[in-house]
Structure 1
């Protein structure tokens, strides 16, 4: 039996090129879908992520074998190498952005590592049009469209910056929708917010979980169970993540030495800071700084 080959396209209908000049592209759904009678057969893009924003109509969408129903308004996030296909309603409209996955991940890792989960996982995201973050998305889509048309200096840098801003809005929208789901215990939500506020005030002091729990009037075990139930991580993970975030920011946006940074973050010595940072990021502070600065220089040269 012959093996079925999934077509690989730069954009649907255009066989992928060995080298592509553009890092991002913009279209409206009807432009590419109408010529194919609104039926886009399953295919993939090896190096490109696509983000579709359905503002009208709907479709049946295949995402890595799962068949889903999408109804406007909604977002569809399709990372590189994801097999996908569509059967659109003939009334469907909305913008589609196609962008190079690698550079987008580099920017996300540098500026907001949480975005990596968003850009690496296929998703169908319903949109509440009244949400403030949803209202912010279309102006960004339209700005991306303008950048694809002007062919001016810095076009690629501007386009990737706008795409990053779009992903931030999508992440905010997703988070807001999760928070909009009624909580079974609002007291737990208030406790989590109190814990996060205390961590923000004290993370450079490297307080123990027991110390935070005492400030909240609960036991360390209760605090850890609370974080696992509400956040999916331990209380120590929350504390460490805040320290790592600050360390990454300082490594990129200050010229302080690693020794100076370690002391400013409350570590007893540079060696301990280095071990802590590598444990939580997989890289040494110097490696992270060098890679982050290289990524920034690459973007500036686009």
Structure 2
């Protein structure tokens, strides 16, 4: 039987679209206590999570690696990483969930080496007395405050604060090597390489066979690996990347649908529209109109707050 791994925006909530530039702040007990402190294996296709355990302990799984850690510690879970948590009942600390691609884009401009930090599943034990650790909670609390105000520019301020927070995480990891080790397995490394290839080539509409050849495996092996680690087929991974880019461009650019189809490697607009509707239930034109309406309503609501 093929294992199906749930895809959430936040555990237990329906996944949000990957084009959405958003972030969420909460405390560990808020989401974990209602589930008896047990968060079952799941994945976020578009969202990175950063957890700062200030009290308690957790048994966690990141992809195929399982371990136990105690507070104080940091857990960084990039998009596409299968993860689960079993928290001790006295566990507390802040959790931030944010769209990963905008963070990567911002990091690529201000600190390119930070992109690798964002993409690497990491668990790091903390020394509470170091200056980098002392800088963490004020930044987490600043993100919490920004998440509560619902004011104009909230996303810009939030993403900037998150970038500053990730800089501190990178500094901590650098200062504590080899204690802060990236969490990897052979299968996770293969998946990471596959996703990197897809990121580089998705606009060319490469086949599963071509990706498998590049990775030195058969198409069947690649699909089995994707289903085991990500809960989806290799073709689903490729199509999800195309849809992610299509949705972002439809919302955040004025590119025509015909031009977008060509940029994404489709032979014509009609073929792209059929593909998009198959995977979203809407035509590109319908999706763009509804998404822009939703954004306008959200902006109007924030302006009244």
Q: TM-score band, normalised by the shorter chain?
A: 0.5 to 0.7
The two structures have a TM-score, normalised by structure 2, of 0.57
What is aligned with 1:3?
Answer: 2
What is aligned with 1:111?
Answer: 110
What is aligned with 2:40?
Answer: 41
What is aligned with 1:143?
Answer: 142
Cα separation, partners in 2 of 1:47 and 1:19, compared to 1, 3 Å: closer
Cα separation, partners in 2 of 1:35 and 1:180, compared to 1, 3 Å: closer
Q: Does 1:91 align with 2:64?
A: no
What is aligned with 1:161?
Answer: 160
Cα distance per residue 1:257-285 (max 9 Å; x no partner): xxxxxxxxxxxxxxxxxxxxxxxxxxxxx
What is aligned with 2:99?
Answer: 100
- Looking at structure 1, the residues matched to 134 and 166 of structure 2 have their Cα atoms a distance apart, in angstroms, of 14
Cα separation, partners in 2 of 1:94 and 1:13, compared to 1, 3 Å: same
Say if 2:146 and 2:158, in contact at 8 Å, map to a contact too: yes
RCO higher in 1 or 2 (8 Å CA, sep ≥ 6)?
2
Query: How much has 1:23 moved relative to structure 2?
Result: 1.0
Cα separation, partners in 2 of 1:61 and 1:180, compared to 1, 3 Å: closer
Gaps of 5+ in 2: 181-251, 253-298, 300-305
- Looking at structure 2, the residues matched to 164 and 18 of structure 1 have their Cα atoms a distance apart, in angstroms, of 21
Gaps of 5+ in 1: 182-293, 295-301
- Looking at structure 2, the residues matched to 170 and 62 of structure 1 have their Cα atoms a distance apart, in angstroms, of 20
- Looking at structure 2, the residues matched to 116 and 21 of structure 1 have their Cα atoms a distance apart, in angstroms, of 19
What is aligned with 1:72?
Answer: 71
The two structures have a TM-score, normalised by structure 1, of 0.58
Cα separation, partners in 2 of 1:25 and 1:180, compared to 1, 3 Å: closer
Say if 2:125 and 2:179, in contact at 8 Å, map to a contact too: no
What is aligned with 2:214?
Answer: none
Query: How much has 1:18 moved relative to structure 2?
Result: 3.8
Larger radius of gyration: 1
Moved over 4 A (4+): 19-22
- Looking at structure 2, the residues matched to 93 and 14 of structure 1 have their Cα atoms a distance apart, in angstroms, of 21
Say if 2:94 and 2:140, in contact at 8 Å, map to a contact too: yes
SS in 2 for 1:10: coil
- Looking at structure 1, the residues matched to 137 and 13 of structure 2 have their Cα atoms a distance apart, in angstroms, of 27
What is aligned with 1:173?
Answer: 172
Cα separation, partners in 2 of 1:119 and 1:18, compared to 1, 3 Å: closer
- Looking at structure 1, the residues matched to 50 and 133 of structure 2 have their Cα atoms a distance apart, in angstroms, of 14
Query: How much has 1:180 moved relative to structure 2?
Result: 9.5
SS in 1 for 2:139: helix
Cα separation, partners in 2 of 1:19 and 1:132, compared to 1, 3 Å: closer
Cα distance per residue 1:143-171 (max 9 Å; x no partner): 00001100111100000000000000111
What is aligned with 1:213?
Answer: none
Cα distance per residue 1:110-137 (max 9 Å; x no partner): 1001111111010101111001010001
SS in 2 for 1:15: coil
Query: How much has 1:176 moved relative to structure 2?
Result: 1.7
More moved, 14-23 vs 71-80: 14-23
